[in-house]
Structure 1
Amino acid sequence: MRYLLLLCGDETAAAAAGPEMARRCHGWAEEAERQGVRQAGTGLAPPAEAKTIRVRDGEVLLTDGPFAETKEQIGGYNVLECADRSTAVEVASRHPWAEVGTLELREIPDVP
């Protein structure tokens, strides 16, 4: 089963974590790839560089920044291939970002 692991947090947590956190996250990714459970993933540009796109009554509405009215934003993602949810949770729980932010794990359903 495939899972999407979203790395969430506010920008101050990322700044406070510094380069050591980035190094640890890269180490987690390398280990998960060696284990054959990480298929893809990367960090994302800061929320200030985001664009929110909506279409209403045929009109494209483009807004700067993320739409969500929250301090926590998605900062990166990983796609995991695991036998079951408990294995995915175990793999995700070792991600260093869980110490300073929030991880959200969602199953990616198979589409026929």
Structure 2
Amino acid sequence: MILMYADPAATEAMSASERAEVFRRHEALHQDLAGSGEMLNGAGLAYPKDTTTIRWRVDGSTTTDGPFMKAAQQLTAYYVVDCASAERAHAIAERVLDFHVIAVEVRPIHDSFGMGDD
């Protein structure tokens, strides 16, 4: 899984041309990975301000508005890819780094509910 992090305030402040460039780059990556069969899933996420966090407590769960952790950079999108090696996953992840996505986490998936029988 490729987890993408950005500053939501910077995202909101992007110009139309910057948004178009981000879209173009991700569309090109989607096409490449769909062609190779490596792209399984992916999505952009709503702004953290639109998030609800539900926390477990011994005496019952609590619900708060906002992301789990307060930070300038937040999880903003993800891709689920199926590739031959960790090195290939890293190469894919490097393609999403830019002025918008400032950090990428590559994390193996240890199980795959609903993603096939392999």
- Distance in 1 (CA, whole Å) between partners of 2:55 and 2:21 is 37
Corresponding residue for 2:41?
40
Q: Deviations over 1:44-85 (max 9, x none)?
A: 111111000112123120010102121110101000101110
Q: Detail structure 1 runs of 4+ shifted over 3 Å in the superposition.
A: none
- Distance in 2 (CA, whole Å) between partners of 1:110 and 1:87 is 19
Runs (5+) with no aligned partner, structure 1: none
- Distance in 2 (CA, whole Å) between partners of 1:102 and 1:5 is 10
> Partner letter of residue 33 of structure 1?
A
TM-score normalized by the length of structure 1: 0.85
> Partner letter of residue 82 of structure 1?
C
Deviation at 1:39, TM superposition (A): 0.5
The structure richer in strand per residue is 1
Deviation at 1:26, TM superposition (A): 2.0
Summarize the alignment of residues 1-112 of structure 1 with structure 2, pairs less than 5 Å apart: 4-15=1-12, 16=14, 17-95=18-96, 98-100=97-99, 101-110=102-111
Runs (5+) with no aligned partner, structure 2: 113-118
RMSD, aligned CA: 1.6
- Distance in 2 (CA, whole Å) between partners of 1:110 and 1:52 is 24
TM-score normalized by the length of structure 2: 0.81
- Distance in 2 (CA, whole Å) between partners of 1:48 and 1:110 is 30
Question: Paired residues, what number?
Answer: 106
> Partner letter of residue 21 of structure 2?
E
